[in-house]
Amino acid sequence: MTDSTPQIYPRFAGKTVLVTGAGTGFGAEIAVRAAQEGGRVAVHYRSSKAGAEKTLERIREAGSDGILVQGDIGSWAEIKRMADEVFAAFGVLDVLVNNVGDVSSEQMSWRDLTQEALDAVVDVDVKGTLLMTHEFGERMLEQGHGNIINVGSTVIVRGSPRAPQYAAAKYAILGITKSYAKVLAPAVRVNTFAPGFMETERLLEREDWKSGRREVLISQTPMGVIPPPEFVAGTCLWLATDESAHLTGGYLLADGGFNMVGA
């Protein structure tokens, strides 16, 4: 899918969407996909300004428009400021995708855990996701509608011998999702989307990925592929469409059949 792809399904025509961590990787592809489906998009970044500007450029090439929003989601004060900026620019926010997360990609073994690595993951993945859901969810409730998608992970199914703090933080997102799904219903729906492995730049650079892990995982994946992030961006956004109107507090997994979670 190229940046010049015309709008596909108009699922977000007239809608506004905020995607966190949209300067790179999965967040960038979610933001561009939302634009291709007609949405105006707020592109959040913390430090990847050049990447965020590139994402906004792609959004405009897709025939839509948006804004850049900078901030550290580890800070409630900054989250409130970002919320003020988004609502001032758009007047309303229909969809929030809490994509940003610390994956401890430099850590290759549980033995390498440090206090700093633990704190970083908890601050971003747990506190950041909760506070974003809390602050934006409250404002969505006041406006009478909204959708929140928390990007989780399939790591919660099997755990992580590489980075247990990452698995713990992503499991916490389920509790955040379920709690706010109850608090904000029926006006605002809250769900978790869990992609499997995606060949982002960050993953492609990991030593374990380059030394055989990729081939092992492909052999265990029924669909036989580790996709690029744009391949599942539309699946993630489905959670904010009218097609999923009766789904809240849910956990949607899209990993090519690797885990097949169910009863």
Catalytic residue ranges: 166
Per-residue DSSP letters for the chain? Answer: --TTPPP-S-TTTT-EEEETTTTSHHHHHHHHHHHHTT-EEEEEESS-HHHHHHHHHHHHHTT--EEEEE--TT-HHHHHHHHHHHHHHHS---EEEE------TT--SGGG--HHHHHHHIIIIIIIHHHHHHHHHHHHHHHT-EEEEEE--THHHH--SS-HHHHHHHHHHHHHHHHHHHHHTTTEEEEEEEE-----HHHHT-HHIIIIIHHHHHHT-TT-----THHHHHHHHHTTSGGGTT--S-EEEESTTSS----
CA atoms within 13 A of residue 196's CA, in its CB half-sphere: 22
